[in-house]
Chains A and B, each alone.
Chain A
Amino acid sequence: MRRRTYLQVAATLGAAGLAGCSASGAGNPDVVLPEPDREFDSSDLPYPAWGERLPDVTLPAPLADREVALRSVDRPQLLTFFYSHCNSVCPVLISALRNVQTHALNEGYGDEVAFHPTTFDPERDDADRLRTYGEEMNVDLAAGNWRFLRPASRGRAEEVVAEQFGVSFERTHPEEMEVYMFAHAALTLLVNADGYVERAYREKQPDPETMIADLETVRNG
């Protein structure tokens, strides 16, 4: 809806005045990537999607001993939501992000991007656990661009991950296991340096090559 209003305004003003900043992000001056091909608007979605601003959230980064205000990150960032005891989807999400991190380090743009995988299982995912998990996943934790984020409590995880980011998760108690697991949605976000969502990847296995290409456009935007 908002987008249509904007486009009407743009049409009235004429294309020339806006072409400079929105040549590729046609329709929204806050983003560089074009609107994805889809049958709905971002405002219809439960999660922050193309052209929308990130929720105004600050989360602890336990390995860095600091807090990260997501809107204040001054470079493009990739976010995803996971728990470390997960054996199916989460390692694939983390691995995809890790592949992007490695590309960034190999290609010399490691300090132009930030990675913020966020756990929704703060009870088990403490600093030690996250460090071990990062090492197992071959994440370069010393590179300075990767920060695991951990909401301070179970309630805060619900508030931030489920309510603000629209990533639903529910505890499950598989019969053959002594520990609880989660059924959860998969979402990875590419956010530009101004805090606007450029892409929301919903795949359980987001393609690192697509993310690398999208990230390059955003970095150069």
Chain B
Amino acid sequence: MNRRRLLTALAGLGLTGGSLLAVSQGLPGGSDGLSVRVETVDAAGSEAGQLGLPVRGQPVTVVDLFATWCAPCREQMDALGAVHREYGDRAAFVSVTNERVGGTLTRADIREWWQRHDGNWTVGLDPESALMAALGADGLPYLAVVDRSGTVRWEHAGLVDADTLGDRLDRHLEA
């Protein structure tokens, strides 16, 4: 037992934090620029189809990574809704889940979740976690502000309040 404990430390299989919403900060945004396509879902404020990220013709795209099982993601929707009301005409908003549709989770479930949490912008699917990988996201919720070239201007793991996100958007919309 002691040997195992010692080896745990040596092998770097460290303990992860016990904090509530903690997700590790992801890697810094890739220098090559984000370029990912997601399937979009028919839901409030969202049409079924395909969408490239960053969204063309928009100065910035707010990317929100969520999952229907993620409790803090539900909480994040309030702040996102408030920011969307204020900035929705100047920035693209896209929420994406990496849950694979199938089994007990359907597109209708995602649509329902979206409606229940007052989502009113594009919601998409990333079943192969390509977007999560591109952003280096290591947990949920995860927010990123991406400019038109695909450069990640800001990203954050864990809950973000509306003021903080609004400040970030102001900064990049003025730049």
Query: Which chain A residue has the least Cβ–Cβ distance from B137?
Result: A205
Does B85 belong to the interface (CB within 8 Å)?
A: no
Which chain A residues (128-174) contact chain B, with CB distance < 8 Å? 135-140, 143, 162-163, 166-170, 172, 174
Q: Which of A4-12, A20-28, A44-52, A71-79 forms contacts with chain B?
A: A44-52
Which listed residue (B5, B21, B68, B99) contacts A87, Cβ 8 A?
Answer: B21
Query: Could you tell me if B7 and A44 are in contact, using CB atoms closer than 8 angstroms?
Result: yes
- Complex Cα distance, B136 from A205, in Å, reads 10
Q: Cβ of B86 < 8 Å from any Cβ of A?
A: no
**Contacts A47-B13, A101-B103, A103-B100 known; A88 to B70 CB distance under 8 Å?**
no
- Separation of A99 and B101 alpha carbons in the complex (Å): 9
- Please tell me the number of chain A residues within 8 Å of chain B, measured between CB atoms: 49
Asked whether B13 lies within 8 Å of A187 as measured between CB atoms, the reply is yes
A169 contacts across to B, CB distance below 8 A = 15
Binds B, one of A60-68, A178-186, A189-197: A178-186
User: Which residues 96-144 of B sit at the A interface, judged by CB distance below 8 A?
Assistant: 98-105, 109, 127-129, 132-133, 138-140
A92 and B26 CA atoms in complex are apart in Å by: 14
A34 to B8, CA, bound (A): 23
Q: Which residue of A is nearest B72, CB measured?
A: A87
Return chain B residues, CB-CB under 8 Å to A163: 1, 4
Chain A positions within 8 Å of B98 at CB level: 95, 99
Q: Which of B16, B103, B132 has the most CB of A within 10 A?
A: B103
Chain A residues whose CB sits within 8 angstroms of the CB of B83 once the complex forms: none
Chain A hits for B15, CB < 8 A:
168-170, 183-185
Q: Which one of A46, A140, A170 contacts B13 once the chains associate, using CB atoms below 8 Å?
A: A46
Residues of A whose CB lies within 8 Å of any CB of B are: 40, 44-47, 87-89, 91-92, 95, 98-99, 101-103, 105-106, 135-140, 143, 162-163, 166-170, 172, 174, 176-177, 181-187, 202, 204-205, 207-209
What are some 20 contacts across the A-B interface (CB < 8 A)? A44-B7, A88-B19, A88-B139, A89-B139, A91-B70, A92-B139, A95-B99, A135-B104, A140-B104, A143-B103, A167-B13, A172-B18, A174-B18, A174-B19, A181-B18, A183-B17, A185-B16, A202-B13, A204-B24, A208-B100
